[in-house]
Amino acid sequence: MNTKVLRIGTRGSQLARTQSGGIAQQLMDAGIPCELVEISTHADRTSGPIAGLGTQGVFTKEIQEALLRHEIDLAVHSLKDLTTRLPNGLRLVCTPPRANPFDAVVCDRGEQLVNLPHGARIGTGSPRRRAQLLAVRSDFAISDLRGNVDTRLRKLREGEFDAIILAAAGLERLGLHAEATEVLPPHIMLPAVGQGTLGLEAREDDAVAEAAAKLLHHAPTFAASTAERSLLAALQGGCLAPIAAWARLTEVGTSDSHQLRLTGVVLHPSGTPHLFAESDAAMADADALGRHVAKQLLDQGAAELVQASRR
């Protein structure tokens, strides 16, 4: 039996360590010794809006470099932070079962989104969330919000915002699910590509780390992630573009068989126009499904909206 300690790279935030610690515990329960290696990323060392950093992979680059230098054996990412094109020598080897993919409203007064007062101040650092919020109500005053979950909740309670938007999965993983006033349904706000999913990345030549990660692999989540990431790549979008996608299994008729359904949305930063496309395919065709839905969006003018988000 291999007794090598698997070194797992993680960002230092409480949420990142909770997520990586959960992966490490599952692997240790399977008999694989693990240790967490904390790595500071560019975004963790920088304040201000993410858009101002001017690059992709701001939450992952240093961790990937540590992988390539053999300082760690496995990286645990929030998949929504991972670029669709990985560095040479690395690959995505595992996606455990997806957690809640949707976004949550947190409001001290307990008000739901539709009941917030005119001109309500809402905190989010996500262009995707901002655009979808404005598509619902153009009167919202949306301001940038960064920091770990505790920092964001503190800013809400200090009165900087009337409400903030956070990933439901992050709240749930931290045991803070009761903080959510409501979880927004997909017809109001589609999630980010890969939201709620963890991505385990390893070197292409490290069969030991890949075999360990595969113990936690969940094929339906991987298929959904593949479709969403394929769509994002075809649209040539990144974390700064108002692009949302949600892939999930659906039953076919009355049988026990399933297909993968992918819904994609591209918005202007102002919330309008708002383009929508949806299609189904077999799980094995997840990559092609992503490209197909992306083409539907591009045929409607998505490229111009993606470009508008970069101005």
Domain ranges of the chain: 6-96+197-217, 103-183, 225-308
Hey, do 6-96+197-217 and 103-183 end up sharing a CATH topology, with the first three levels equal? yes
Across the range 85-102, mean pLDDT stands at 97
Read off the tokens for 238. 């990144």
What is the end-to-end Cα distance of the chain in Å, rounded?
A: 55
Read off the tokens for 163. 């409400």
- pLDDT tens-digit profile of 286-308? 999 999 999 999 999 999 999 88
CB–CB of 202/214 below 8 Å?
no
Quote the percentage of the chain above a pLDDT of 90. 84
- Cα 59 from Cα 39, distance rounded (Å): 10
CATH superfamily of 225-308: Porphobilinogen deaminase, C-terminal domain (3.30.160.40)
CATH of domain 6-96+197-217: 3.40.190.10
Pick the CATH number of 103-183 from 3.30.43.10, 3.20.20.70, 2.30.40.10, 3.40.190.10: 3.40.190.10
- pLDDT tens-digit profile of 153-200? 999 999 999 999 999 999 999 999 999 999 999 999 999 999 999 999
- Cα 142 from Cα 114, distance rounded (Å): 15
Phi and psi for 164 in degrees, rounded to 5? -130, 160
Q: Is 81 a catalytic residue?
A: yes
Give the β-pairing of 6-10 and 34-38: parallel
- Cα 91 from Cα 95, distance rounded (Å): 12
Quote the percentage of the chain above a pLDDT of 70. 93
Which residues does 262 contact at the CB level (< 8 Å), separation at least 6?
227, 228, 231, 245, 246, 247, 278, 279, 280, 281, 289, 290, 293
CB–CB of 179/153 below 8 Å?
yes
pLDDT band at 38 (very low <50, low <70, confident <90, very high): very high
**Catalytic-labelled residue, pool 29, 44, 73, 81:** 81
